[in-house]
């Protein structure tokens, strides 16, 4: 899969927001926290994820580039709060009262569980094939195997080989 390059100004904006939220948390909880490691490897329709043991936040580079500061303001506190909850309370309900407390009281942001960003550009694409009796959705991986002649798929219902439905 080709990797997406996040422009430097966005990476800097990420770090600015991260450090600012971390400072709020340190003041509020009277404790120092190590700076989480940020990576841009989150795939699919997920905006970000927190890897608790690794003290790492993974961000979706495509959704970050598309939504910029709005993304940062939404996702950084959300994922950082997951890390802090884990640090302070261990394995508890991920979006439970501890997480809501950090979001609302310490970070002063709404405790949204899901992100509001449009996902059409990151939704995985499928390829439509057909046989005598129905249409079938093949993944990119399956489709590539067909293209390379490595595999052909047969309908379980009618036994016919699947043919790509060409878009018109
Ligand atoms: Zn979450
Ligand atoms: Zn069929």
pLDDT in tens, 133-168: 988 888 888 998 999 988 889 999 999 999 988 754
* pLDDT of res. 168: 42
Q: Please, how many CA atoms are within 13 Å of residue 143, restricted to the half-sphere of its CB?
A: 15
Q: Which ligand is nearest to the CA of 79?
A: 1
* pTM as predicted: 0.74
| CA 2/CA 25 separation, integer angstroms | 36
| CA 111/CA 122 separation, integer angstroms | 24
Domains belonging to the chain, first-starting first, are 8-106 (3.30.2010.10), 126-164 (no CATH)
166 is an active site residue: no
Check residue 49 and give left, alpha or beta (phi > 0: left; psi -120 to 50: alpha): beta
Q: What are the angstrom distances between the C-alpha of 75 and each of 78, 115, 130, 148, 165?
A: 5, 8, 40, 39, 38
* pLDDT of res. 160: 95
List the catalytic residue out of 56, 66, 74, 79.
79
> In 3D, which of 56, 54, 71 has the Cα closest to residue 17?
71
Q: How far is the CA of 144 from the centre of ligand 1 (A)?
A: 34
Q: Which ligand is nearest to the CA of 160?
A: 2
Q: How far is the CA of 2 from the centre of ligand 1 (A)?
A: 26
Residue 82 is assigned to a ligand binding site:
yes
Please identify every stretch of the chain with a pLDDT value under 50, giving residue numbers as ranges: 168
Q: How far is the CA of 142 from the centre of ligand 1 (A)?
A: 32
């Amino acid at each position: 899969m080709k990797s997406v390059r996040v422009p430097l100004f966005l990476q800097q904006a990420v770090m600015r927001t991260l450090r600012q939220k971390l400072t709020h948390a340190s003041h509020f909880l009277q404790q120092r926290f190590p700076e989480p490691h940020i990576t841009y490897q989150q795939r699919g329709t997920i905006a970000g994820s927190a890897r608790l043991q690794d003290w790492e936040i993974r961000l979706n580079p495509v959704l970050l580039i598309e939504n910029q500061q709005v993304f940062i303001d939404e996702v950084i506190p959300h994922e950082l709060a997951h890390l802090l909850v884990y640090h302070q309370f261990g394995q508890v309900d991920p979006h439970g009262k501890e997480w809501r407390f950090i979001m609302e009281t310490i970070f002063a942001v709404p405790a949204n569980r899901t992100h509001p960003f449009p996902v059409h550009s990151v939704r995985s694409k499928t390829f439509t094939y057909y046989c005598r009796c129905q249409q079938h959705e093949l993944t990119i991986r399956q489709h590539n195997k067909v293209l390379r002649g490595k595999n052909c798929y047969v309908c379980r219902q009618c036994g016919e080989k699947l043919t790509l439905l060409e878009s018109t």
